[in-house]
Amino acid sequence: MASLQFLLAIGGGWPYEFHRGSAFFWSATDTTVNTAFAMRISSREECTIEFPNRKYALSVRCLNDTGVAVKPCKNGTEDNCVYGELVDNRDGQTYKTVKIGDQVWMAENLNYEVDSSFCYNDSAEYCEKYGHLYTWDAATVACPSGSHLPSLAEWKILIEAVGGGPIAVTALQSTSGWSNGDVGTDLFGFSVLPAGIRMGSKRDYSREGSEAYFWSSTADINEAHYMTLYYYPDRDTYHGVYFYRETKKRAHSVRCLLDSAE
């Protein structure tokens, strides 16, 4: 990636703050009377949603009015999503799938047991609820025939298709099962549940009930990219869809993407 440098006008006192390696862009969506959603792109190839003060001066990129977002297929009374099934011939499990734009995704987390896959808190009841958690190496070989672990680019296609991070954070969440408030609308039948994370090689599990983490296939020698999604209604600046990278030894959930749209 080319070197990123950004000058942020922060208002009041010293008027500018220099951010080497980052670029910031406003969205049209506010979060509170004082803050609004903005996108930050870093030279580490990470894309996050920030919540700066509305008085800050950031860059702007305009979007053609034709748009590319997929219309929601589900609400509180009707469900018109296009569902299917993916059968895992290895253990006989059947997974619900859903078509979103040109992609067909598992509508639930993978629950196939392989080496270096885990149940949250080492308890089988959590695998029944959330599926397994996988190290990155395990995740790359875990998806059933006819599907694959999505790349970072494929995850981003999904997020953009449903309207971008500020919308996706609730539109992809299940409508129940979140300990920090059931704010999810599940408008596309993707039904994200907060399965939490296993922190490296130690039996240290965290964030079940409040956060979801999904591996991508995109990686370098030591780290792999992933997507995380969470929403804390009582914290105005602590919710969104984020893309990061970290050690491959941590264990995240897996959603498989069908190799071709049905």
Above 80 in pLDDT, residue 1? no
3-state DSSP assignment of residue 63: coil
Question: What is the structure's pLDDT at 237?
Answer: 53
The whole-angstrom separation of Cα 166 and Cα 26 is 12
What is the b/e burial string over 68-104, where b = at least 16 CB atoms within 10 angstroms of the residue's CB?
eebebbbeeeeeebeeeebebeeeeeebebbbbbebb
Q: Residue 46: how many CB atoms within 10 A of its CB?
A: 14
Q: What is the value of pTM for the model shown?
A: 0.76
Burial class (CB in 10 A: 0-12, 13-18, 19+), 187: buried
Reported as half-sphere exposure (CB side, CA atoms, 13 A), residue 129 has a value of 18
Give the percent of the chain with pLDDT over 90. Answer: 60
Give the Cα separation of 229 and 238 in Å (integer).
Answer: 10
Lowest mean pLDDT among 32-36, 141-145, 157-161: 32-36
Residue 61 tokens read as 């990129």
pLDDT at 145 over 80: yes
What are the residue ranges spanned by the domains of the chain? 5-50, 83-258
Q: Token pair 């748009």 is at which residue?
A: 67
Query: Residue 69 has what pLDDT?
Result: 79
Residues 191-208 have pLDDT tens digits of: 999 999 999 877 799 999
Q: Which residue has the higher pLDDT, 236 or 44?
A: 44
**Cβ atoms 99, 121 nearer than 8 A:** no
pLDDT of 73 above 80: yes
Give whichever of 122-131, 158-167, 200-209 has the largest mean pLDDT.
122-131
pLDDT in the model for residue 98:
99
Q: How confident is the model at residue 4 (pLDDT cuts 50, 70, 90)?
A: very low
pLDDT at 262 over 50: no
- Polymer length of the chain: 262
Lowest mean pLDDT: which of 20-24, 242-246, 248-252?
A: 20-24
| pLDDT tops 50 at residue 214 | yes
Asked if pLDDT for residue 51 goes beyond 90, the answer is no
Per the model's pLDDT, the better-predicted residue between 114 and 51 turns out to be 114
Quote the CA–CA distance of 54 and 52 in Å, as a whole number: 6
CA–chain centroid gap for 214, Å, is 6
Confidence of residue 240 (pLDDT cuts 50, 70, 90): confident
First to last CA, the chain: 34
For the CA atoms of 187, 179, 254, 173, the dihedral, rounded to the nearest 10 degrees, stands at 10
**What integer best gives the mean pLDDT of the chain?**
86
The two three-digit tokens of residue 63, written as one number: 């979007």
Which residues lie across from 106 on neighbouring strands? 97
Identify the band that residue 119 occupies on the pLDDT scale cut at 50, 70 and 90.
very high
Instruction: Determine which of 50-54, 76-80, 97-101, 231-235 has the lowest per-residue pLDDT on average.
Output: 231-235
| CA dihedral sign, ordered 228, 221, 198, 107 | positive
- Angle 228-131-171 (CA atoms, 0-180°, nearest 5)? 45
Per-residue pLDDT of 10-20, as tens digits, reads 444 435 555 56
